[in-house]
Structure 1
């Protein structure tokens, strides 16, 4: 295990691994953390943006992570009415084709299996609509690992990560936040976790970079699914 595996509060990388076995409830992000959904999301985004008559941003990967409504407004300059129409077009393709243009990252199933067998409670907190997340989990064989899958609503409510985290904790009756850890690949995961008073592990096999995660204030960083399991199980 190397020095990237733990980060001090100042953001300096430490060679020492703090004891993480006390985190008994693990909340996982979906896109960029459990599955690589790049193909489906980008194809649906390009289709929606083009149909709306807007220019497709050169760096389309910046759409990967933030809530889709926020991305259309921020990166394309759409107003509220345009955002609603773009989301409708996006979902027409995504709900039938795009959500399955997806793959589970190598090592993720093994990581989840180790964590569950190690006594961890595994849940999902994603800004993707919950109905889509459940379908993805069922298709790719991930449902077996999770006690609860929480996500956004189709009407745009509960879009932001802190809202989803609060929803998951409330649904499962979890009150001791000192034992809860958010695991994700983007700054939104870190910000959402900290806003709700929980720590966040940033992971490097997804869409985000170590620079992004350090700048956001990730409390821990793991390079691979195997390393994440080692850290969380104290191995």
Structure 2
């Protein structure tokens, strides 16, 4: 029976894609990689994170500093970022149903807390962990060990291929959402346990998983 729902943040709860694109393009000159238009972003949504890195020409040595700067610049934009339509109501209903909710993200905890507070959701999540862009599975495994949680009691909700990969590496179920970064087609090709198009679908899935 599923008891815990872990959410990704960017592209799953928060609609940060356009703002992240603008910030990334501003930093492209400083870090020496290709900027991207919205049309190119649509093409990139069919690629894995590693394929995107190769396409853009971002240096792996500069990548950690780029991510730190990206998170720092994003912080000032938090008042301009919105949750995806319907997600707040679904989160509150899942909490009312008795599920423990958490967030594991490659964004900063500071940014996540800022947006949750703006939306009155600061008491909705039991935990928020921030990890590296390609190390979510390590954060999940560390949390599972610390809390002595059976992976079969957990489901991860995310919008990217790397979320599917992280769930697979940790033995937890994964629900992919089609409203974020990676396209519905490429997510389906990576065989998540569930693939949804609307936040409200989470309620039906979790009601069933919670009864198993």
User: What TM-score results when the alignment is normalised by the length of structure 2?
Assistant: 0.83
User: What TM-score results when the alignment is normalised by the length of structure 1?
Assistant: 0.75
1:82 corresponds to: 62
2:157 corresponds to: 183
Deviation at 1:103, TM superposition (A): 0.7
d(CA) in 1 for partners of 2:143 and 2:133?
A: 11
d(CA) in 1 for partners of 2:198 and 2:167?
A: 21
d(CA) in 2 for partners of 1:53 and 1:175?
A: 43
2:184 corresponds to: 210
d(CA) in 1 for partners of 2:106 and 2:68?
A: 17
1:105 corresponds to: 84
CA contact 2:100–2:126 (8 Å) conserved in 1:
yes
Aligned residue for 2:106, secondary structure, equals strand
1:139 corresponds to: 118
CA contact 1:73–1:83 (8 Å) conserved in 2:
no
Q: Deviations over 1:52-93 (max 9, x none)?
A: 343314524648x988xx688534323344334534543452
Count of residues in Structure 1 that have an aligned counterpart in Structure 2: 206
* CA distance 1:115–1:40, shift in 2 (3 Å): same
Structure 1 residues 49-128: aligned runs within 5 Å? 49-58=28-37, 59-60=40-41, 62=44, 73-95=53-75, 97-128=76-107
* CA distance 1:179–1:72, shift in 2 (3 Å): same
Structure 1, unaligned runs of 5 or more:
1-21
Q: Deviations over 1:194-224 (max 9, x none)?
A: 1011110112232233222221120112221
d(CA) in 1 for partners of 2:176 and 2:166?
A: 12
Structure 2, unaligned runs of 5 or more:
none
2:135 corresponds to: 160
d(CA) in 1 for partners of 2:115 and 2:51?
A: 22
Alignment RMSD: 2.8
* Equivalent of residue 231 in structure 1, options 191, 201, 205: 205
d(CA) in 2 for partners of 1:74 and 1:229?
A: 38
* Equivalent of residue 171 in structure 2, options 197, 209, 214: 197
